[in-house]
Amino acid sequence: MTPEEEPLRLVMFGLPSSGKSSLLGSLVQAGELHDPVLNARLVEPSPGLLDLREKLSKNHLDANVEEVTPHTLKLEPLPKGSPVVVEVVDSSGKAAAEMVSRQRPVSGRKAGALGDAIGDADALIVTADAAAEPAQLQRDFPQIAAFLQLFEKGRCKGTEVAGLPLYLVLTKCDLLAKKTDTLAAWAERIEQKRRQVEDGLRKYFAKEEKGSVFGKVDLRVRATAARRPTLADGSGSRQGPYGVAELFRQCLQSAGQFRERRRQADSRLNMALVGTLGLLAVMLLVGVGVQATRPSADVVALENALQGILPSPLAKPAERLREPLDKKLDRIQKIEKTRGFSSLPPGKQAEILSYEKEVQAYLAFNKSFLDKVPDPRLATREQDLALIEKRLDDISLPAEHAEAWKDTRVGRRPQQWRDDISVLRQEVGKTEAWIKERIDKGHQLEEEGLNLRKSPPEAKKEWLERYRRYVGEVWPHPPASLPPGAYGLAYETVYRFDRVDRARQVWDEFKQKRLGYVRQLLEEGL
């Protein structure tokens, strides 16, 4: 086979799960949907490629086990032209990770099948997950940087430079979409990210240009999505992958041009090395570039986490300081410790810190209030109530929050407790009166009973029935119910109060001794 007859070779390179195989499956989809951007008919895709398309549509893609998996396809330019045979080499992310982590060299005998494929490539497609966790990128970054340095020192002295086309592809851009995005808003979000990465790379290359090969790498940044997100304007349901046809059309074009240049050059190995070096620079810069764009991803994640904790700026203090504050404070403090916190806009950081401070002050005041002022629900004597009233007189909201907190739970509590004390006093008086009235009624019952000693059994039975109803009466209200006007105080506090308790003992004794005696008398006469 002459070099002209050799298929154009595109090599996919990227860390595990960065979307290499999906990108190839998407290419087949774009071809089948006759994507006009591809500007070519895709014919004879190999069974492996059709399988990838199938698995992509079922979301059943497996990680590549083989280090490299070549697939072939033919593209017939539209409206007509000579068909171009293309070999696309899928590769294993694990093998790429080994290279990046220096467990294996990029070129030479030990570089393995992936190293060979890179050496033969007419274009490289380097995939990076646009929606990856910042933590993952942060972990990969130092490894990539260290490896790159070593590689540059060891292998690239005096290398002649020729630009191997390098496409850095930000995959999974559908995951960047927000539910409220229209198609235009989503596309703008992707473009923003793409530009951020590209700018980061450009700056990096500009810095490295002196005496380095980096400045001459032919690098382009593209963004793709294997599937469309659901968008607010319903346009997400549109068929086909995003940005894939365009990527491959441009990539094939530059691969063809590179092949032409390479034919004229005599140092294929050197070029491959430069390409590889460029590739690794990109890997490094994916870190730099995406890192530069990461804050926005961090910000989005943090802002999501803050939802439900941070009150709206329009929220009233009572809403702002609604329970469960302990939990909110805990979550805020965890958020402040995350790496992304410092990436939030300064205004947002200040808002969080100021909210944290307010919640802390509120919780501290609440604690000192409860430590100092006994709870009226536990009061059993008049002295207890007097003490609570005195403590309430002595304590007031912190001056700087007095106005804002006056309608919060803590702000309203002193008055509510005063009101509860007043209700308690009233109800104690009423209950004493009720017991006294019951005792009077009991005396009447006692007298009636004594007069029945010589009466017929029916009259005695009738009295015994009234007696049972009388002793069955315990309290005027259920103990757990709240007296009218009370905030948190139930009748049980009233019934435990010493004056009520004493009255109750007198009554109990009356029931037991005096009425009990009459009952016995009448029962014996039956």
Residues of the shown chain interacting with ligand GTP in the complex, contacts defined by CB under 6 A: 14, 16-22, 59, 61, 63-64, 92-93, 127, 171-172, 174-175, 225-227
Measured CA to CA, the distance from residue 226 to residue 245 in angstroms comes to 11
Least Å distance between CB 52 and ligand GTP?
A: 8
Least Å distance between CB 156 and ligand GTP?
A: 26
Least Å distance between CB 136 and ligand GTP?
A: 13
When CB distances are held under 5 to 8 angstroms depending on the partner's kind, the choice from ligand GTP, Mg ion, none that residue 115 binds is none
**Can you tell me which residue has the tokens 């009370």?**
486
Contact 494, 425 (CB under 8 A): no
Which residue, 91 or 196, is less far from Mg ion as judged by CB?
91
Least Å distance between CB 128 and ligand GTP?
A: 10
Which residue, 20 or 460, is less far from Mg ion as judged by CB?
20
Which residue, 64 or 196, is less far from ligand GTP as judged by CB?
64
Measured CA to CA, the distance from residue 16 to residue 103 in angstroms comes to 16
Which residue, 26 or 431, is less far from ligand GTP as judged by CB?
26
Residue in 21, 107, 224, 254 binding Mg ion, rule: CB under 5 A: 21
Number of H helices, E strands in the chain: 18, 7
Which residue, 17 or 360, is less far from ligand GTP as judged by CB?
17
When CB distances are held under 5 to 8 angstroms depending on the partner's kind, the choice from ligand GTP, Mg ion, none that residue 175 binds is ligand GTP
Residue closest to Mg ion when measured from CB atoms: 21
Least Å distance between CB 307 and ligand GTP?
A: 23
Element at 77 (helix H, strand E): strand 68-77
Which residue, 189 or 406, is less far from ligand GTP as judged by CB?
189
SS (H, E, C) 448-514: HHHCCCCCCHHHHHHHHHHHHHHHHCCCCCCCCCCCCCCCCCCHHHHHHCHHHHHHHHHHHHHHHHH
- Which residues, including other chains, have CB under 8 Å from residue 25's CB and lie 6 or more apart? 49, 52, 53, 54, 55, 56, 57, 61, 226
Least Å distance between CB 114 and ligand GTP?
A: 11
Which residue, 33 or 439, is less far from ligand GTP as judged by CB?
33
Which residue, 63 or 402, is less far from ligand GTP as judged by CB?
63
Which residue, 64 or 107, is less far from Mg ion as judged by CB?
64
Pairing of the two strands 40-43 and 68-77: antiparallel
When CB distances are held under 5 to 8 angstroms depending on the partner's kind, the choice from ligand GTP, Mg ion, none that residue 83 binds is none
Least Å distance between CB 49 and ligand GTP?
A: 13
Q: How many CB atoms lie within 10 A of CB 95?
A: 23
Of 427-466, binders to Mg ion (CB under 5 A) are none
Inter-residue long-range contacts of 234-242, CB under 8 Å, 24+ positions, other chains counted: 235/182, 235/183, 236/177, 236/183, 236/186, 238/183, 239/33, 240/29, 240/30, 240/33, 240/35, 241/26, 241/29, 241/30, 242/173, 242/174, 242/190
When CB distances are held under 5 to 8 angstroms depending on the partner's kind, the choice from Mg ion, ligand GTP, none that residue 16 binds is ligand GTP
When CB distances are held under 5 to 8 angstroms depending on the partner's kind, the choice from ligand GTP, Mg ion, none that residue 69 binds is none
Q: How many CB atoms lie within 10 A of CB 472?
A: 7
| Residue type (1 letter), 62 | D
When CB distances are held under 5 to 8 angstroms depending on the partner's kind, the choice from ligand GTP, Mg ion, none that residue 19 binds is ligand GTP
Of 25-64, binders to Mg ion (CB under 5 A) are 64
Please work out the total of residues on this chain that contact Mg ion, with binding judged by CB under 5 A.
Answer: 3
Measured CA to CA, the distance from residue 100 to residue 141 in angstroms comes to 10
Measured CA to CA, the distance from residue 416 to residue 410 in angstroms comes to 10
When CB distances are held under 5 to 8 angstroms depending on the partner's kind, the choice from ligand GTP, Mg ion, none that residue 59 binds is ligand GTP
Least Å distance between CB 98 and ligand GTP?
A: 12
Contact 142, 100 (CB under 8 A): no
Least Å distance between CB 23 and Mg ion?
A: 9
Among candidates 26, 9, 10, 16, which has minimal Cα distance to 223?
A: 26
Least Å distance between CB 155 and ligand GTP?
A: 25
- Which residues, including other chains, have CB under 8 Å from residue 117's CB and lie 6 or more apart? 9, 11, 68, 70, 89, 91
Among candidates 295, 278, 108, which has minimal Cα distance to 193?
A: 295
Least Å distance between CB 11 and Mg ion?
A: 13
Which residue, 137 or 494, is less far from ligand GTP as judged by CB?
137
Tell me if 171 contacts Mg ion by CB under 5 A.
no
Among candidates 464, 361, 382, 19, which has minimal Cα distance to 224?
A: 19
Pairing of the two strands 123-129 and 165-171: parallel
Least Å distance between CB 336 and ligand GTP?
A: 31
Among candidates 131, 111, 133, 154, which has minimal Cα distance to 13?
A: 111
Which residue, 63 or 450, is less far from ligand GTP as judged by CB?
63
Which residue, 27 or 494, is less far from ligand GTP as judged by CB?
27
When CB distances are held under 5 to 8 angstroms depending on the partner's kind, the choice from ligand GTP, Mg ion, none that residue 193 binds is none
**Residue numbers of the site for Mg ion (CB under 5 A)?**
20-21, 64
